[in-house]
């Protein structure tokens, strides 16, 4: 019997994502001026206020207030009507030194023997469902909001948009897990109070989302995905009605509260650890990226059509306590998942320091991950500029999304005789 599956996304202006972006901007600045920084930075945003907290060990000192305000303004919270703006909000910093009890289990004289920053299990997932090896419902959900943000910044076709928004896509699958059609699309977007008649306002928003936004999104999709769109799609556009009050004024935001949006939209699995604000010694982040890297290269090499990878660690211990692989019965290699996992452990060095080196994670590459998903984006090299009143100006050329590279496909094929 056919079944339905749903994934959601949230925009860069969603309060939880505002918090994530601030935390990762702070992390990037610490790493830019001191690559060995140890950072675990949390952010809370609410009406007119930002609270920064966490533990940091670094040789550099930052103007954290300026960094937070700059992120908020860049997102688009620049008007007093939003009850939250980068120029006027209060910023309170409660950041303090990292615990020596934790640090002694992580730092080693020989960096290769660096211990894991915490215990826990991390997951990576990949599927042949899309060109970027991501679940389709999540991929479309992200694209809807990325395009909505472009329309907001353009301010021409839909001039009343505000930064906060959410999307959700429901897809019908056949028994053999093949997408059949788009069943429902939900878009909730914050907006100006541009008409005294709420019904007129809501009808205008519905019309613009369906007739302006969606064609722009669909045009980006490959033909086989475009064919899933149909005249029977149920659209829920701002289903509660008016959505003028939003962002941190409408709902308090916290770092790390959108972990499913950040990963696979409910497909595969999640170990529970958030990413943003954490330097790569925290395996919550680095090992999750490494697991995605493994899963994507396995699928691209032809090991299976769908792969879930789990890795686990003990705090302060160098080697992972386990590596697990689930191919959901989609492998035709004649190997058990346990045998595949054993080979994976020989191909990929999963010690924390090795992950950092392989994926170049000691670079300021994290603010770009903090909205619209950490997985599925195109690897690219860019130059980033950082300025500090205490350390001056620095330019760094960095590689973004290294865990999305298909640089181990040949090694995987050789190991599995594909």
Question: Would residue 167 count as lying in a domain?
Answer: yes
Residues 241 and 325 in one domain: no
The strand order across the sheet containing 179-191 reads 3-10, 161-173, 179-191, 234-237
Residues 150 and 124 in one domain: no
Residues 321 and 243 in one domain: no
Question: Would residue 265 count as lying in a domain?
Answer: no
Measured between its terminal Cα atoms, the distance across the chain in Å is: 34
Domain stop point among 247, 269, 294: 247
Question: Would residue 78 count as lying in a domain?
Answer: no
Q: Which domain holds residue 211?
A: 3-9+136-247
CB atoms within 10 A of CB 327: 22
CA atoms within 13 A on the CB side of 105: 14
Q: What is the mean pLDDT of residues 92-114?
A: 67
Question: Would residue 242 count as lying in a domain?
Answer: yes
CA atoms within 13 A on the CB side of 270: 17
User: Which residues sit in the known binding site for ATP?
Assistant: 14, 164-166, 242-243, 251, 257-258, 274, 278
Residues 242 and 320 in one domain: no
Residues 124 and 162 in one domain: no
Residues 240 and 298 in one domain: no
CB atoms within 10 A of CB 326: 21
Closest CA to 251 of 2, 10, 16: 16
- For position 298, which CATH number holds? 3.30.300.10
- Burial code (b: 16+ CB inside 10 Å, e: under 16) for 153-163 equals eeeeebebbbb
Domain stop point among 224, 247, 270: 247
Residues 6+ apart with CB under 8 A from 386: 28, 29, 32, 33, 364, 393, 394, 395, 396
- Name the band, by pLDDT with cuts 50, 70 and 90, for residue 184: very high
Q: What percent of the chain has pLDDT over 90?
A: 90
Residues 398 and 286 in one domain: yes
Q: What pLDDT does residue 390 have?
A: 86
Q: What pLDDT does residue 393 have?
A: 92
- How many domains would you assign to the chain? 2
Residues 306 and 185 in one domain: no
User: Which residues sit in the known binding site for Mg(2+)?
Assistant: 16
CB atoms within 10 A of CB 388: 17
Question: Which sign, positive or negative, has the C-alpha torsion 13, 14, 15, 19?
Answer: negative
Q: What pLDDT does residue 170 have?
A: 98
User: Which residues sit in the known binding site for L-methionine?
Assistant: 55, 98, 251, 282
Residues 288 and 335 in one domain: yes
Question: Would residue 49 count as lying in a domain?
Answer: no
Question: Would residue 260 count as lying in a domain?
Answer: no
Q: What pLDDT does residue 378 have?
A: 97
Q: What pLDDT does residue 110 have?
A: 57
Residues 306 and 225 in one domain: no
Label residue 305 exposed, middle or buried (CB < 10 Å: 0-12, 13-18, 19+): middle
Question: Would residue 230 count as lying in a domain?
Answer: yes
Q: What is the mean pLDDT of residues 18-33?
A: 98
User: Which residues sit in the known binding site?
Assistant: 14, 16, 42, 55, 98, 164-166, 242-243, 251, 257-258, 274, 278, 282
Per-residue pLDDT tens over the stretch 251-286: 999 999 999 999 999 999 999 999 999 999 999 999
Residues 174 and 210 in one domain: yes
Domain stop point among 221, 247, 273: 247
- Name the band, by pLDDT with cuts 50, 70 and 90, for residue 158: very high
Per-residue pLDDT tens over the stretch 286-330: 999 999 999 999 999 999 999 999 999 999 889 999 999 999 999
Per-residue pLDDT tens over the stretch 192-244: 999 999 999 999 999 999 999 999 999 999 999 999 999 999 999 999 989 99
Question: Would residue 160 count as lying in a domain?
Answer: yes
- CA–CA separation, 215 vs 200, rounded Å? 22
């Amino acid at each position: 019997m056919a079944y339905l599956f749903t994934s959601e996304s949230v925009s860069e202006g969603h309060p939880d994502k505002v918090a994530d972006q601030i935390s990762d901007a702070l992390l990037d600045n610490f790493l830019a001026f001191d690559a060995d920084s140890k950072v675990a930075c949390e952010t809370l945003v609410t009406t007119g206020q930002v609270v920064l907290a966490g533990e940091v060990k670094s040789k550099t000192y930052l103007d954290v207030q300026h960094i937070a305000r700059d992120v908020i303004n860049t997102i688009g919270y620049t008007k007093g009507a939003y009850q939250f703006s980068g120029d006027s909000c209060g910023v309170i910093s409660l950041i303090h030194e990292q615990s020596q009890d934790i640090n002694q289990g992580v730092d080693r004289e020989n960096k290769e023997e660096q211990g894991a920053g915490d215990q826990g299990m991390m997951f990576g997932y990949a599927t042949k469902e899309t060109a970027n090896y991501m679940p389709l419902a999540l991929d479309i959900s992200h694209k809807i909001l990325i395009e909505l943000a472009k329309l907001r910044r353009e301010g021409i076709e839909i001039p009343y948009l505000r930064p906060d928004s959410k999307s959700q896509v429901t897809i019908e699958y056949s028994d053999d897990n093949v997408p059949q059609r788009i069943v429902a699309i939900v878009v909730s977007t914050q907006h100006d109070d541009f008409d005294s008649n709420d019904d007129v306002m809501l009808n205008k928003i519905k019309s613009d989302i369906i007739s302006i936004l969606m064609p722009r999104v669909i045009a980006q999709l490959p033909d086989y995905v475009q064919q899933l769109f149909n005249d029977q799609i149920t659209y829920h556009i701002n289903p509660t009605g008016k959505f003028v009050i939003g962002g941190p004024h409408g709902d308090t935001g916290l770092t790390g509260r959108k972990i499913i949006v950040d990963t696979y939209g409910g497909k595969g699995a999640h170990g529970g650890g958030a990413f943003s604000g954490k330097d790569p010694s925290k395996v919550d982040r680095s090992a999750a990226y490494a697991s995605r890297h493994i899963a994507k290269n396995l699928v691209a090499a032809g090991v299976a059509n769908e792969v879930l990878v789990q890795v686990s660690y003990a705090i302060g211990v160098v080697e992972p306590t386990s590596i697990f692989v689930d191919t959901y019965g989609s492998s035709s290699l004649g190997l058990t998942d346990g045998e595949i996992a054993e080979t994976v452990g020989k191909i990929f060095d999963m010690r924390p320091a090795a992950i950092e080196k392989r994926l170049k994670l000691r670079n300021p590459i994290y603010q770009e991950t903090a909205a619209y998903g950490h997985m599925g984006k195109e690897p690219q090299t860019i130059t980033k500029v950082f300025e500090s009143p205490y350390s001056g100006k620095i330019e760094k050329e960095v590689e973004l999304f290294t865990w999305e590279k298909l640089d181990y496909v040949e090694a995987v094929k050789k190991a599995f005789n594909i």
